[in-house]
Structures are given as C-alpha cells and as structure tokens.
C-alpha cells in the first residue's frame, strides 16, 4: 500500500536541507591501517564529505534519484571540496551558497574503538551550515521537488532555524512532501526546551518522520515525556505524518503507518567497523524503496541492509552503495542466514 504519493511531474526527487561538512576518519587503506584505538592516538586520517543530510543526498543519488541540496558552505577550499564532490556525484548544487563572514565548514573527527564502540567529535564553532538564512530559501526550487528532507540539526540555531521553518512552510503550501530526519547532534544545542520546541514544530508538519527512540523523546519532552513508540506514532499521525519510523539501534526498527499497521526489521548481521553511518544508509535505502512504490516492509529491509553495509565500511559518503550492490548483499545474507534473517 502507498502511504505517500509523490508528484511525478516534478524534476527533482528530493531536496535535502542542512549540513554538509567533512569527516576525518582514522585511515584504513592499503598503506595505513589505524586499528581500533582512541581518537587521541590516531596519527593518520582520511578526509570525506560528511554530514548526515549530505550523506543521504549522496546515497539517494547513487540509487539513481535526482537530488538537490540547500546549504551553506565556507568560502574556502573546503567549501570547494564539498561542492565539487556533490557536482561529481550528480547532486544539484545551485542552492548551496557560500558564507560571507568567514564561517567555516564543520569538521567531524571519528573514533573507532571496537566493532561495538565508536563516536564522533564535532568541531563546529563559527559554523557555516547554520548560517543558512531565509533569503536562501527559494519557493520555485521547493516547488520543483517531490519532497524535501529537513535535517533536525538545521533547527539548532538562527538564522538556519528560520530558514528550515520557511522551507517547511513553502513545502506545505506547494504540496512538496516533508520528510523530517530528526538527526540529533548534541553539540549543536544549548537548551533542551529549544530541542522540543523546534523539533515538534517540524514534526507536526511532516509526512514522514525518522528518528531513534532518544530523538523522539527529545522531540516530545515538552509535550508528553515517556511515550511508547505506539503513542509517539499515533500522536504525530494525528497531525500530518503518514509514516513514522522509530529506530532502536541494534535491536531493530519499526515503521508505523497511518492505517494503524506496523512493520519491523532487524539489522543484518555484519562485523562492524563503526556505529555511525548506519542511519544514513538506512535513510537512503528506505527512501529509495518508497519512491519505487515498494511495500513498507521491503523499504525497511532495503534500508536495514544498506545500514549494515555502511557500518562495515571505514567511511560514510564514499561507501554508500548503488541498488545492485544492496540487492546482492541481501541475497548473499539470505543465502547464509535464511530468508527471514532481518524480518521480524
Ligand atoms: N553493528 C551494527 N551491525 C549492523 N547494523 C547496524 C549496526 N549498528 C547500526 N546498524 C544499523 O544502522 C541503523 C541505524 O543505526 P542507529 O544507531 O539506530 O542510527 P544512527 O546511525 O542514525 O545513530 C540501525 O537501525 C541498524 O539497521
Ligand atoms: O552527521 C555528521 O555530521 C557526520 C557524519 O558524516 C557522520 O559520519 C555520521 O555521524 C553519520 O551519521 P549516522 O548515519 O546518522 O550515524
């Protein structure tokens, strides 16, 4: 059953709004292998385009979807690096602008301690992506896309906060579907109430909401703390949500649909290199399936497979697979572990 119908006449499949940044991951290649160790002991890093919405833009584009990005980058060579990477990937960069007051692109240093323990350290002072302003939001651009994905981190501060809300308002006006990836990054927020205020403003307008249990708890803190997954889904569906996806890390995830159904999936078992990156693979794969008109359970299986592929790898953006690789991975895993390996 189709819960969200996209306007097929629109040239862009998806616009993503939020941060594009740079990941520095411990080197792991033919020449240098930084084995699992604390970040302070890492000597060599590899540089990749990062930022969760940027990774999802890359992910969906590798699946053949046409994506555009609304964002702000630094006016320097790192700004060039991420924009050129997007251009090469085939992402529309016409609405990425450069900072004029010297703000810098975010840097994310990643720590890989063991297959089960990893973390990220963000350098985000004087940050470029949060300089996005209402003047950067163009109604015609939003109208040209089937959907817009708002990354919750864009709501952390002004002027980006107002820019994101303007984009949501214009999307609503023009029937551009709204996808909210709650995407909580602690470092960016100064006040817990603000998280709940701004997350809930966007969640109320969204057609699809994706987040972890912790992210839903933060969103609901000022409304009704302590909701169960079922209660959260029903509450957001009483506004505009058609699909609410709630993730529980290695325990699996569930999509709640507006007809009262729910569909659950578990991760595919893999030897992980890191924990982060899974969410971006999951989002890319799940959304691709939805645009193909697949059943929700198949979208979840595809997203979960792509997430498992991502946690195996040493980076996020470069490793995002195309659909053939994901199908091949699912086939291999099912041959090894059985048809129902990820399905609950
Ligand atoms: N060690 C792992 N092995 C396999 N899959 C994993 C592993 N860790 C995470 N995943 C997959 O990545 C998805 C997203 O991970 P999660 O931690 O919930 O979100 P995020 O990466 O956004 O913080 C999970 O739902 C799961 O499918
Ligand atoms: O999101 C960031 O700014 C950094 C990412 O590039 C990073 O590597 C990461 O954390 C991926 O996010 P996840 O898939 O939600 O774990």
CA distances from 21 to 28, 32, 54, 107, 192 (A): 20, 24, 8, 6, 24
Give 10: exposed, middle or buried? Use CB within 10 Å, 0-12, 13-18, 19+: middle
27 alpha carbon – ligand 2 mean position (Å): 17
Count Cα atoms within 13 angstroms, Cβ side, for 189: 19
Q: In this structure, is residue 285 part of a structural domain?
A: yes
- How many C-beta atoms surround the C-beta of residue 295 within 10 A? 13
Nearest ligand for residue 315 CA:
2
* CA pair distance 74, 105, nearest whole angstrom: 5
Task: Identify the pLDDT of residue 281.
Answer: 98
Q: In this structure, is residue 5 part of a structural domain?
A: no
* pLDDT single digits (tens) 2-24: 999 999 999 999 999 999 999 99
* pLDDT single digits (tens) 153-169: 999 999 999 999 999 99
Mean model confidence pLDDT for the chain: 97
The number of distinct structural domains making up the chain is 1
Q: In this structure, is residue 229 part of a structural domain?
A: yes
* CA pair distance 182, 59, nearest whole angstrom: 18
> How do strand 67-73 and strand 12-17 relate by DSSP bridges?
parallel
Q: In this structure, is residue 6 part of a structural domain?
A: no
Q: In this structure, is residue 342 part of a structural domain?
A: no
| Closest to 50 in 3D by CA, of 30, 28, 29, 71 | 71
Shortest-distance Cα residue to atom 4 of ligand 1 = 308
Q: In this structure, is residue 4 part of a structural domain?
A: no
Enter the ipTM: 0.96
Binding-site residues, ligand 2, Cβ < 6 A: 19, 21, 23, 50-52, 55, 108, 120, 276-280, 316
Task: Identify the pLDDT of residue 344.
Answer: 83
| Closest to 202 in 3D by CA, of 175, 167, 165, 237 | 165
Q: In this structure, is residue 313 part of a structural domain?
A: yes
**What's the sign of the alpha-carbon dihedral 53, 55, 61, 63?**
negative
Probe residue for ligand 2, chosen from 247, 316, 318 as the CB with the greatest number of ligand atoms within 8 Å: 316
Nearest ligand for residue 210 CA:
1
Question: Does the CB atom of residue 307 touch ligand 1 within 6 A?
Answer: yes
Task: Identify the pLDDT of residue 215.
Answer: 98
Residue-number span of the structural domain to which 305 is assigned = 12-337
Q: In this structure, is residue 1 part of a structural domain?
A: no
297 alpha carbon – ligand 1 mean position (Å): 17
DSSP tag of 33: B
DSSP tag of 64: T
| Ligand 2 atom closest to the CA of 106, numbered from 1 | 3
The percent of residues in the chain predicted with pLDDT above 70, rounded, is 100
- How many C-beta atoms surround the C-beta of residue 169 within 10 A? 14
Shortest-distance Cα residue to atom 24 of ligand 1 = 249
Question: Does the CB atom of residue 282 touch ligand 1 within 6 A?
Answer: yes
Tokens coding 160: 């980006």
Task: Identify the pLDDT of residue 284.
Answer: 98
* CA pair distance 26, 4, nearest whole angstrom: 40
* pLDDT single digits (tens) 321-332: 999 999 999 999
User: Tokens 């996808």 label which residue?
Assistant: 179
The widest CA-to-CA distance across the chain, in whole angstroms, is 56
Probe residue for ligand 1, chosen from 246, 247, 276 as the CB with the greatest number of ligand atoms within 8 Å: 247
* pLDDT single digits (tens) 200-254: 999 999 999 999 999 999 999 999 999 999 999 999 999 999 999 999 999 999 9
279 alpha carbon – ligand 1 mean position (Å): 6
Nearest ligand for residue 307 CA:
1
The percent of residues in the chain predicted with pLDDT above 90, rounded, is 99
270 alpha carbon – ligand 1 mean position (Å): 11
DSSP tag of 314: S
State the average pLDDT over residues 125-129.
97
């Amino acid at each position: 059953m189709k819960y969200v119908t996209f306007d097929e006449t629109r040239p862009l499949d998806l616009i993503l709004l939020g941060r594009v940044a740079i990941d520095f991951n411990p080197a792991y290649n033919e020449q240098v292998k930084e084995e699992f160790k604390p970040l302070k002991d890492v000597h060599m890093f590899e540089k990749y385009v990062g930022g969760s919405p940027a990774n999802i833009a890359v992910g969906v584009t590798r699946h053949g979807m046409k994506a555009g990005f609304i964002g702000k980058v630094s006016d320097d060579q790192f700004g060039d690096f991420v924009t050129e990477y997007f251009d090469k990937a085939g992402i529309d960069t016409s609405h990425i602008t450069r900072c004029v007051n010297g703000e810098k692109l975010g840097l994310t240093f990643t720590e890989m301690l063991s297959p089960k323990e990893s973390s990220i350290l963000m350098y985000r002072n004087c940050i470029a992506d949060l300089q996005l302003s209402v003047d950067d939001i163009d109604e015609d651009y939003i109208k040209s896309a089937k959907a817009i994905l708002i990354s919750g981190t864009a709501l952390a501060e002004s002027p980006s906060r107002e820019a994101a809300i303007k984009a949501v308002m214009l999307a609503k006006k023009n029937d551009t579907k709204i996808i909210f990836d709650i995407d909580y990054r602690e470092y960016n927020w100064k006040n817990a109430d603000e998280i709940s205020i701004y997350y809930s403003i966007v969640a109320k307008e969204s057609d699809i909401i994706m987040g972890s249990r912790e992210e839903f708890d933060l969103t609901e803190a000022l409304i009704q703390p302590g909701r169960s997954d079922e209660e959260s889904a029903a509450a957001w569906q009483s506004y505009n949500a058609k699909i609410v996806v709630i993730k529980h890390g290695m325990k699996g995830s569930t999509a709640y649909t507006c007809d009262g159904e729910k569909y659950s999936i578990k991760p595919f078992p893999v030897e992980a290199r890191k924990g982060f990156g899974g969410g971006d693979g999951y989002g890319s794969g799940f959304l691709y399936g939805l645009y193909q008109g697949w059943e929700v359970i198949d979208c979840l299986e595809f997203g979960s497979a792509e997430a498992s592929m991502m946690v195996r790898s040493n980076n996020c953006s470069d490793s995002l697979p195309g659909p053939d690789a994901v199908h091949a991975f699912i086939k291999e895993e099912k041959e090894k572990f059985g048809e129902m390996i990820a399905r609950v």
